[in-house]
Amino acid sequence: MTLKLTQQRDVSAERNQHRRRFLQLGFGAAASLAMPSAFANVITSPERKLSLLNLHTGENINATYWAEGQYQTSELHAINQVLRDHRTGDVMDMDSNLIELLNILHHKMDGQQAFHVISGYRSPKTNAMLNKKSSGVAKKSLHMQGRAIDIRLPGRQLASLQQAAIQLHAGGVGYYSRSGFIHLDTGRVRSWGS
């Protein structure tokens, strides 16, 4: 009886491992389909990295989030931690397509420094507070789903970063020149701001 239960657990664990592997490959394939073919070499490279500096907390990270043919869970957790809601401390799993989009944008801009992060994940509480203070904060912001980020890239003009992001045709791009950042998300393709 014990042997039979052990065998069933082994089969179940193996199925779960295959399912996780399938999902990881599916996310990678979906990300590569969403990006222009000119950047397929970035998505298919053996390692993918992302460098971020959270301007509110001072935390920075240079993470190899993809290696050996799969997402690196510990590196994704570290990215999520840096992109947490700095007001509440709440952490959200960031959309893997957003991480891929940032990687591709960094390559396209030939970025030499980390993205400066103004806002990553926002808890519903923080988003509601910001929405009361500013008409520029959406009530149903994709920041609350881990699908949006506000960034700038040192050494690159903000308008150039905006244009490069728009040319990717991979989500929403907002331009906030007075505040000095662009908004990037994995929602429908659209752009706004001046």
Distance, in Å, from the CA atom of 47 to the CA atom of 106, rounded to the nearest integer, reads 14
Q: What number of other Cβ atoms are within 10 A of residue 188's Cβ?
A: 7
Average model confidence (pLDDT) for the chain? 84
Backbone angles phi, psi at 109, to 5 degrees: -85, 0
| pLDDT value of residue 139 | 77
Amino acid at 178: R
Q: What is the pLDDT of residue 10?
A: 52
What is the per-residue pLDDT for 23?
A: 43
User: Rounded to whole angstroms, how far apart are CA atoms 106 and 112?
Assistant: 8
Q: What's residue 7's pLDDT?
A: 52
- Residue-wise pLDDT tens digits, 28-86: 444 444 445 545 656 677 899 999 999 999 999 999 999 999 999 999 999 999 999 99
Among 45-49, 142-146, 160-164, 181-185, which is the least confidently predicted range?
45-49
Q: Domains of the chain by range and CATH? A: 2-193 (3.30.1380.10)
The full length of the chain comes to: 194
pLDDT of residue 2: 47
Q: CB within 8 A of 100, min separation 6: which ones?
A: 31, 35, 43, 48
- For the stretch 11-24, pLDDT in tens is 455 554 544 444 44
Predicted local confidence at residue 138, as pLDDT: 78
pLDDT given at position 32: 45
How would DSSP label each residue in 76-129? HHHHHHHTS-TTT----PPPHHHHHHHHHHHHHTT--SPEEEEE----HHHHHH
Query: 134-157, pLDDT tens digit by residue?
Result: 767 777 889 999 999 999 999 999
